[in-house]
Structure 1
Amino acid sequence: MLKIYNTLSRKKENFTPISKNQVTMYVCGPTVYNDIHIGNARSVVAFDTVRRYLMYRGYQVKYVSNFTDVDDRMIDRAAEENVTVFQLADRVIKGYEHDVSQINVLPVTVRTRATQFIPQIIDFISRLIEKGYAYKSEGDVYFRTRKFQTYGELSDQSIADLVVGASEHVNLEEQSRKVDPLDFALWKGQKGDEIAWDSPFGKGRPGWHIECSVMSISELGETIDIHGGGEDLKFPHHENERAQSESLTEEPFVHYWMHNAFVTTAGDEKMSKSAGNFITLHEALKTYDANFLRFFLVQTNYRKPLQYSKDSIAQAKRNYDRIAETSRNLKAYIDGIEPTKTDKSNGSSLVEDFKKRFVEAMDDDFNIQNALTIVFEYLRWINKEVINQLSSLDELNNIQNLLIDWLGILGLSEPKTEEITDQEILDLINQRDAARESKDFKLSDELRDRLLNLGISIEDTNNGTKYTKK
């Protein structure tokens, strides 16, 4: 039986959806003020893989994810670029949708934008005020955090610790408008001529946390099966979502809270825009094959950190190449044999055993690392006992179909050999030579890696750069 680690209970629980064979799933999307980096993309891929596996197990999945298309960062960035908030959002969203499609992320069932739910947000806040869970203050509206008795349980923090943290991070101007340091904004009054909407509380815009509660409840109902996001969202975002939602509906907001770990860089530092140690997904796709990049992001259990480094990329490339090469070789072998091939069995029972073991691994909280161990064992068996051995065509197709199923769960397209012309190779080599000449060694390394990904090895000699095709 499928078990999911629930952040709220801090243990693995048997998965029982609200409706038989149907799963409701909400995953927090990006604030669209800039391109996402691969740390953000890891969350997208992690929950896309969860969705794919649920579908493989026979569930219908209604998957909702949002764009936060108005907040302080968007207002500031739009002002810097002399565009409207909506123009900025539309541009970044277009880039996001293109880039995540490149790494084979399934289209969501419903994609929401915060600014499309302003009436519902205003209604939600109005009802919280009526119930005594929120109050107006100088154009803002705040949630009475202490009134929600189990606040802090999701992020495993005490009220005392949270009070200290709130006091340290809230500016004095905002603090003066709050009854309690822990209270958080549901509605922010308009400042100057920034973007705003009319409301019973005055002109303003939604706070960050209220958006996801409203969009989730509007699209999926008061209680959903799974709510996902990066582990940095546990507090305050998801803690606040839970508090405001359950205060209003008096029902559990989420049955299974799931959070993925970060992508880290050298020194195990979290990849983030604030630290400046990131590479955008768009830039990564210029360097790495999209299918390989998907594999790199999916290869590690979603609750464990994924290190982005030269060594980890190289190891992932070796593992991905094993999958791609065996997949191509098996397909070529099947395409080349006669339909009248012998009926000799080469292990149908083994195929079922591999299938069962893969499911057992993934049923343990989507343990992709254990599942990949079984995949690689399967590849070794194919190479040693299947390819170029006597077996029936039906059995070979069965063997191939299981591998295709697994690639589908991982989100990998069937690997193909990318063709590149000699002139295109020379153009990339000339770009690399120019980068080395100008001492842009980062670009030089990226171009070398791109050539390697295309099966082109290069050697720098006294007579120039030479290349060979694998």
Structure 2
Amino acid sequence: MHAWPASEVPALPGKGRDLRIHDTATGGRVTLAPGPVARIYVCGITPYDATHMGHAATYNAFDLVQRVWLDTKRQVLYVQNVTDVDDPLLERAIRDGIDWVGLAERETALFREDMTALRMLPPQHYIGAVEAIPGIVPLVEQLRDSGAAYELEGDIYFSVDADPHFGQVSNYSAELMRHLSAERGGDPERPGKKNPLDPMLWMAAREGEPSWDGASLGAGRPGWHIECVAIALDHLGMGFDVQGGGSDLIFPHHEMGASHAQSLTGEFPMAKAYVHAGMVALDGEKMSKSRGNLVFVSRLRRDGVDPAAIRLALLSHHYRADWEWTDQVLQDAVERLDRWRAAVSRPDGPSADALVEELREALSDDLDAPAALAAVDRWAELQTAEGGTDESAPGLVSRAVDALLGVAL
């Protein structure tokens, strides 16, 4: 599966700072100092309704992570999946009377268009669950053969008790885990499971549903968590720098994925930092496909909204915050974009050297995008009020805003 084209990232004078970021597993900030190649895995979409503002906010956060790393003169190895076979996708295809493969391809193509318009840097490896199945099957067999997984009526389940570190990503109580498991695709009430929290690794073929050859597992399809583990281990290995996604993936998805990987390899941890973006609401409720309260990037674009304004709207909120999308949020972003573009359109201005360092400091401090926007606001206000004589300043501001915030002026 191919990703989307990369926009050019301008080079800036000097060098950026190492990223200090909130790690869900420890509950505090960690300083990430990767080697020459920084490694990141971000969980992708289930392509049946893309791309809403919740998606956009999440991928914007991890785009900033990449930009901070690139500014430190590192390379970035970025991997993202597409869950192109799963119950919600199949259910939507049945509801709409269309082929599930066609639905997945259509929504994935739309997602690519939105990511391109928003200037999100693409992953080097963009892998669908279906194409990953040949690599998933032997991992499930390994877990089963080692005693970390077991069969139940043809399905294969992972035993969470097999990983001594289970629970150390979310640090949630057993009661909350069970509640979230039921809410987010698990089946804690199924009779015969060794532990109610045990997640499915391989679902035996069901009548009327797609299935694939699972070798000794029999025909079926993979569970949700093992999909990402197989892709991450194949392209990044253990101990990669950042495992990312929305905060709704903390449990069960990232918790289970970590336990799968740790049981397979005997190594700990799967990732050096587990980083999670907040949820975006509309009319007081989290945007979700089940509620249908979605604001889509593609619809805003069709309505003539500049993608740079959409991106500024996302950047105006800290990535870990839960926030609400409103018309005013977008209007404020449109007005900010106009002010910035007017400021950099002049032939000279106040020196921008200090601004570049302010941007670097803000973003290295747990991706504090609102502080970065405020710094550019101050430069633009000074430009409007007093101007300046530095002929290089407007161009440097444009390059810095593009390189570090992904906004083209």
What TM-score does the superposition give when structure 2 sets the normalisation length? 0.89
> What is the CA distance between 1:228 and its match in structure 2?
0.6
1:201 match:
217
Query: Is 2:103 aligned against 1:102?
Result: no
Match of 1:299 among 296, 301, 316: 316
- Which amino acid is the alignment partner of residue 297 of structure 1? L
Find the aligned partners of 1:327 and 1:235 in 2 and give their Cα distance. 44
Find the aligned partners of 2:29 and 2:153 in 1 and give their Cα distance. 45
How has the CA–CA distance of structure 1 residues 325 and 238 changed in structure 2, closer, same or farther, with 3 Å as cutoff? same
1:409 match:
404
CA contact 1:133–1:143 (8 Å) conserved in 2 = yes
Query: Is 2:163 aligned against 1:180?
Result: no
Query: Is 2:217 aligned against 1:222?
Result: no
Match of 1:2 among 13, 19, 27: 19
1:418 match:
none
Find the aligned partners of 2:294 and 2:76 in 1 and give their Cα distance. 32
2:66 match:
51
1:111 match:
126
2:108 match:
93
After TM superposition, list the pairs within 5 Å mapping 1:15-34 onto structure 2.
15-17=32-34, 20-34=35-49
Query: Is 2:15 aligned against 1:14?
Result: no
CA contact 2:19–2:69 (8 Å) conserved in 1 = no
> What is the CA distance between 1:193 and its match in structure 2?
2.9
Find the aligned partners of 1:21 and 1:187 in 2 and give their Cα distance. 37
How has the CA–CA distance of structure 1 residues 357 and 82 changed in structure 2, closer, same or farther, with 3 Å as cutoff? closer
Unaligned runs of 5+ in 1: 335-345, 415-470
How has the CA–CA distance of structure 1 residues 232 and 132 changed in structure 2, closer, same or farther, with 3 Å as cutoff? same
How has the CA–CA distance of structure 1 residues 125 and 409 changed in structure 2, closer, same or farther, with 3 Å as cutoff? same
Query: Is 2:146 aligned against 1:131?
Result: yes
Match of 2:227 among 211, 225, 250: 211
Find the aligned partners of 2:176 and 2:118 in 1 and give their Cα distance. 40
1:396 match:
391
Find the aligned partners of 2:179 and 2:89 in 1 and give their Cα distance. 29
CA contact 2:225–2:257 (8 Å) conserved in 1 = yes
1:445 match:
none
How has the CA–CA distance of structure 1 residues 150 and 321 changed in structure 2, closer, same or farther, with 3 Å as cutoff? same
How has the CA–CA distance of structure 1 residues 14 and 308 changed in structure 2, closer, same or farther, with 3 Å as cutoff? same
User: C-alpha deviations, 1:17-74, integer Å up to 9, x for none?
Assistant: 1xx2320011001001222211111112221122122212222111111110001122
After TM superposition, list the pairs within 5 Å mapping 1:65-104 onto structure 2.
65-104=80-119
Moved more, 199-208 or 77-86: 77-86
1:381 match:
382
> What is the CA distance between 1:326 and its match in structure 2?
1.2
- Which amino acid is the alignment partner of residue 142 of structure 1? Y
2:207 match:
192
2:286 match:
270
Higher normalized helix content (fraction of residues): 1
> What is the CA distance between 1:171 and its match in structure 2?
8.8
Find the aligned partners of 2:30 and 2:105 in 1 and give their Cα distance. 40
CA contact 1:127–1:248 (8 Å) conserved in 2 = yes
Find the aligned partners of 1:303 and 1:413 in 2 and give their Cα distance. 24
User: C-alpha deviations, 1:250-298, integer Å up to 9, x for none?
Assistant: 112100111000112233x211111221122211222322221111112
User: C-alpha deviations, 1:71-95, integer Å up to 9, x for none?
Assistant: 1122223334444432222222111
CA contact 2:150–2:156 (8 Å) conserved in 1 = yes
CA contact 1:223–1:253 (8 Å) conserved in 2 = yes
- Which amino acid is the alignment partner of residue 191 of structure 1? R
2:300 match:
284
> What is the CA distance between 1:146 and its match in structure 2?
2.3
2:338 match:
321
CA contact 1:2–1:14 (8 Å) conserved in 2 = yes
Secondary structure of the residue aligned to 1:380 is helix
Find the aligned partners of 1:169 and 1:69 in 2 and give their Cα distance. 17
How has the CA–CA distance of structure 1 residues 173 and 322 changed in structure 2, closer, same or farther, with 3 Å as cutoff? closer
1:355 match:
356
> What is the CA distance between 1:312 and its match in structure 2?
2.3
Q: Percent identity?
A: 31
Secondary structure of the residue aligned to 2:93 is helix
User: C-alpha deviations, 1:91-122, integer Å up to 9, x for none?
Assistant: 22111111221112222211111111111100
Secondary structure of the residue aligned to 1:175 is coil
Q: Greater RCO between the two (CA within 8 Å, min separation 6)? A: 2
| Divergent runs of 4+, >6 A | 167-174
Find the aligned partners of 1:82 and 1:223 in 2 and give their Cα distance. 43
How has the CA–CA distance of structure 1 residues 352 and 168 changed in structure 2, closer, same or farther, with 3 Å as cutoff? closer
CA contact 1:189–1:205 (8 Å) conserved in 2 = yes
Match of 1:156 among 161, 165, 171: 171
How has the CA–CA distance of structure 1 residues 143 and 301 changed in structure 2, closer, same or farther, with 3 Å as cutoff? same
Moved more, 69-78 or 3-12: 69-78
How has the CA–CA distance of structure 1 residues 15 and 58 changed in structure 2, closer, same or farther, with 3 Å as cutoff? same
RMSD of aligned C-alpha atoms?
A: 2.2
What TM-score does the superposition give when structure 1 sets the normalisation length? 0.78
User: C-alpha deviations, 1:427-464, integer Å up to 9, x for none?
Assistant: xxxxxxxxxxxxxxxxxxxxxxxxxxxxxxxxxxxxxx
Find the aligned partners of 1:305 and 1:174 in 2 and give their Cα distance. 31
> What is the CA distance between 1:398 and its match in structure 2?
4.4
Find the aligned partners of 2:182 and 2:408 in 1 and give their Cα distance. 50
Which one has the largest radius of gyration? 1
CA contact 2:279–2:287 (8 Å) conserved in 1 = yes
- Which amino acid is the alignment partner of residue 39 of structure 1? G
